[in-house]
C-alpha cells in the first residue's frame, strides 16, 4: 500500500469480519413514514435500509434529494427503507418539508444516537444495511445504484468491509484515541465516493485527476496530468476546527511527495463561456443571498446548481456542466442565491434555467489558470 501519514495523534483500527451486525440506534421523530419513531434498527428487520446522514444546510445533501426520490420511485413496493437522518430540530425539518419534496423517511435524531453509533463526522454519508440487520458497506449516497439495492434485497450484494475497533465493536471507524489531525493517502479500495465537511475530507477510489481537483479545490478540467502515476487512490484529511485549509496545504505536499510529482499553475488562452446578465427586456436579476442560507455551493455535474456564493464561484461551478471554463462577466459584487435544476446534457433547458435567474452564457476567450501535474525530474 502506498501511504503517507501525517498525524498529531493517530490510531490504526483493527479490521473486522465482513458483514458484521450494523450498529443499533434510536430515532425519536420520523417524518414521511408509517411510524412516528424508530425504537431500534431491529424494528426494521426484513427490510433493506439505506441510512443517510443528511442536513438541510448541507448543499450536496439537498442537491441529491431528486436523485434519491427517483431511486425510491424505481423501488416502489420493494422491502427497502431510505432513512435520511439529521440532528436538526423537528420544527425546522417540518417547515422544510412543506416546501421541499423528500420521499425518504426523514429521521430527527437530536440526541445523536445514530451519529454516535456510526461515528459520523461528515455529510452526506451513507450505509447499506441488509434485511438481516447486517452492515453491507459504507456507500456515498450519490454512488448508490438501484442495482445495489436490488442485490441487497436478493441477498446478492457483496459486503464491503467497514473498519471496527474489534470483532465485537459497536460502531465503525472507531479508533483507540481521538484524532486531532490526520492526513493520509493510500492505494484505492472500496466503492468510489467522497464526503466533505468544514474540517474533514474523505474520498475513496476516485480517478487521479478528480482527486487532485478536490485536494487543490479546483475543477477537474483544470487538472492537466498526461501520465498519472496511479489510476486512483484514497484520501483522508481531518483537522481541528478552523484549520482545514492548513491541512489541505499539507495534503498537497503529501501527494507530491508520495507520487513523486510536482503541481504547478499554468495559464493558457482558452475558449470559455462568459457568465453574463441577461439582456432580454424585463429579465429578472439574480437575488442577493438570503441571510438565513449558509454560504456554500453544490454543483452536481450537469443538472444541479444550488447555494449562496459570489458570481465568480457560481461561474466556476458551471464549468463542470458546460464542458469548458466559465468566467464571471456579470460585474455583480457580494453573494447571491441560486437554485437551478435542468436535465443533464440539455443545453436548452440549462439556458432556460439560467434565464429564469437573469443570467446567460456567452462564448468568449480568456486566459485561464490550470494545474499541470508532472513527474519530478531526476538528476
DSSP string, 283-319: ---PEEPPTTSPSEEEE-SSSEEEEEEEHHHHHHHHH
Would you say residue 353 lies in a domain? yes
Among 139, 154, 169, the domain-final residue is: 154
pLDDT at position 302, please? 58
Overall domain count for the chain: 2
The predicted pLDDT at position 262 comes to: 94
Instruction: Give the integer Cα–Cα distance in Å for 271 and 91.
Output: 48
Residue 98 belongs to some domain of the structure:
yes
In contact, 261 and 255? CB cutoff 8 Å: yes
Question: What pLDDT does residue 99 have?
Answer: 77
The tens digit of pLDDT for each residue in 191-227 reads: 677 777 778 888 888 889 989 988 998 888 889 998 9
How do residues 18-44 score in pLDDT, each as one tens digit? 578 999 999 999 999 999 999 999 999
d(CA 48, CA 154): 10
Boundary residue ending a domain (90, 125, 154): 154
Give the mean pLDDT of 255-279. 94
Residue, of 125 and 171, whose pLDDT is higher: 125
Asked if residue 251 belongs to a domain, the reply is no
Do 147 and 25 lie in a common domain?
yes
CATH of the domain at 116: 3.40.30.10
Confidence of residue 299 (pLDDT cuts 50, 70, 90): low
| Separation CA 18–CA 21 (nearest Å) | 10
As a whole number of angstroms, the distance between CA 93 and CA 147 comes to 30
Kindly tell me if the per-residue pLDDT of 284 is higher than 60.
yes
Residue 163, SS3 per DSSP: coil
Average pLDDT, the chain: 83
The pLDDT value given to residue 365: 95
pLDDT greater than 80 at residue 60 = no
Residue 7 within a domain:
no
Q: Which domain holds residue 64?
A: 17-154
Q: pLDDT digit string (tens) for 82-125?
A: 999 999 889 888 888 887 889 999 999 999 999 999 988 778 88
Please give the average per-residue pLDDT across 247-274, as a whole number.
93
- What is the pTM for the complete model shown? 0.57
Cell of 14: 483493527
Structural domain contains residue 29: yes
Residue 368 and residue 366: Cα distance in Å, rounded?
A: 6
| Model confidence pLDDT, tens digit, residues 318-370 | 887 787 899 999 999 998 888 887 776 788 989 999 999 999 999 999 999 99
pLDDT at 164 over 50: no
Amino acid at each position: 500500500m502506498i501511504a503517507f501519514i501525517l498525524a498529531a495523534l493517530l490510531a490504526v483500527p483493527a479490521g473486522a469480519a465482513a458483514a458484521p451486525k450494523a450498529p443499533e440506534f434510536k430515532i425519536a421523530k420520523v417524518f414521511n413514514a408509517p411510524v412516528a419513531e424508530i425504537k431500534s434498527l431491529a424494528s426494521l428487520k426484513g427490510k433493506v435500509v439505506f441510512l443517510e446522514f443528511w442536513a438541510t444546510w448541507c448543499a450536496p445533501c439537498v442537491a441529491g434529494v431528486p436523485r434519491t426520490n427517483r431511486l425510491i420511485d424505481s423501488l416502489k413496493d420493494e422491502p427497502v427503507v431510505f432513512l435520511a437522518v439529521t440532528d436538526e430540530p423537528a420544527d425546522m425539518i417540518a417547515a422544510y418539508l412543506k416546501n421541499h419534496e423528500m420521499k425518504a423517511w426523514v429521521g430527527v435524531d437530536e440526541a445523536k444516537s445514530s451519529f454516535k453509533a456510526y461515528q459520523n463526522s461528515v455529510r452526506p454519508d451513507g450505509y447499506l444495511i441488509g434485511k438481516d440487520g447486517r452492515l453491507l458497506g459504507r456507500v456515498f449516497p450519490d454512488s448508490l445504484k438501484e442495482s445495489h439495492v436490488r442485490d441487497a434485497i436478493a441477498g446478492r450484494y457483496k459486503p464491503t468491509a467497514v473498519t471496527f475497533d474489534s470483532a465485537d465493536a459497536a460502531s465503525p471507524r472507531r479508533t483507540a484515541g481521538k484524532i486531532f489531525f490526520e492526513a493520509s493517502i493510500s492505494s484505492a479500495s472500496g466503492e468510489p465516493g467522497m464526503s466533505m465537511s468544514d474540517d474533514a475530507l474523505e474520498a475513496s477510489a476516485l480517478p487521479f485527476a478528480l482527486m487532485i481537483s478536490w485536494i487543490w479545490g479546483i475543477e477537474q478540467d483544470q487538472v492537466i496530468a498526461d501520465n498519472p502515476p496511479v489510476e486512483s487512490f484514497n484520501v483522508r484529511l481531518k483537522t481541528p476546527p478552523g484549520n482545514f485549509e492548513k491541512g489541505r496545504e499539507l495534503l498537497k505536499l503529501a501527494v507530491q511527495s508520495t507520487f513523486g510529482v510536482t503541481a504547478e499553475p499554468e495559464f493558457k488562452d482558452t475558449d470559455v463561456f462568459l457568465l453574463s446578465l441577461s439582456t432580454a427586456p424585463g429579465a429578472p436579476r439574480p437575488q442577493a443571498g438570503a441571510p438565513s442560507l449558509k454560504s456554500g455551493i453544490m454543483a452536481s455535474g450537469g443538472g444541479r446548481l444550488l447555494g449562496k456564493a459570489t458570481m465568480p464561484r457560481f461561474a466556476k461551478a458551471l464549468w463542470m456542466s458546460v464542458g469548458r471554463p466559465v468566467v464571471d462577466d456579470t460585474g455583480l459584487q457580494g453573494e447571491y442565491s441560486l437554485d437551478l435544476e435542468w436535465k443533464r446534457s440539455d443545453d436548452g433547458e440549462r439556458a432556460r434555467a439560467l434565464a429564469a435567474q437573469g443570467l446567460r452564457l456567452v462564448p468568449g476567450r480568456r486566459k485561464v489558470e490550470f494545474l499541470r501535474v508532472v513527474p519530478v525530474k531526476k538528476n
